[in-house]
Amino acid sequence: MSLLEKLFHLRGLTGNRPTIDQHGLFTSIQMSKKLLSEKLAVKEPWRLNKKPHQCKVCLYTNDSSPFLVCYNSSGHRPRARIELYGTKVVTCGDNSFKLCNEEGSEVYFFQTDGRSKRDEWVRSLKEQCERELSPDGEESVRLSKKIMEVRQRVKSQKIMAELEKNNNNTSSKPHKTLLPVTPEDGRQRSVPHLKKNARLAKRRPHIEKAKKEAALATKSLPLSEYFVSVPDS
């Protein structure tokens, strides 16, 4: 198997990280009751080939659809939401258990600090997963899934509309064409400057001649010309 085939194979095994509806999650938490909350080592389906990392895991229950939320280590940003309706809970090892959906395509591994903690989580999860839901509860689960699909579709449509709008704006703007500058254009722009220099060059001999004549005239004048005679009173 080549390197590219291995990469595509691993990507197919791990899958993509799911997107979480923040508003829907907040609403569900407000309408639910928290049963368990603890920091566990979690290995998610899109990170099966990596080491587990610490997450704050919270178990919520309500009348319609119990669910599990995995937050980051600080407990502020949700990483995954697992709907427990129809989910299987299986113990693996002394301190670990896993959750998998009906198709088996998504598997979450959880590792606790000890057997007692693992048994507590497994017991609570099985109670929520195997609980009989009312018809209203099943309908709410289906509606929540449809709402999430519609929101994702609307979000993708908005992104496509923005991209199309940006493309139209860029295509409608006129493009400025820059004409190349030829040597003739440069010479034409420099003609007035050359003409001015030529005029100065022509006038320079006359100016020098006038200066010399003025100097000679001042030297030839007698000394009495520099004084003004005042009549006697």
pLDDT digits (tens, 9 = 90+) for 97-148: 999 887 767 789 999 999 999 999 999 998 888 775 545 555 555 555 666 6
Tens digits of residue pLDDT in 28-52: 899 999 999 999 999 988 877 788 8
Buried b (16+ CB within 10 A) or exposed e, 68-80: bbbbeeeeeebbb
Tell me whether residue 121 is exposed, middle or buried, using C-beta atoms within 10 angstroms of its C-beta: 0 to 12, 13 to 18, 19 or more: buried
Q: Report, at the CATH architecture level, how domain 3-149 is classified.
A: Roll (2.30)
- Which pTM was predicted? 0.51
- Alpha carbon distance 54, 84 (integer Å): 21
Cα gap 89→203, rounded to integer Å: 107
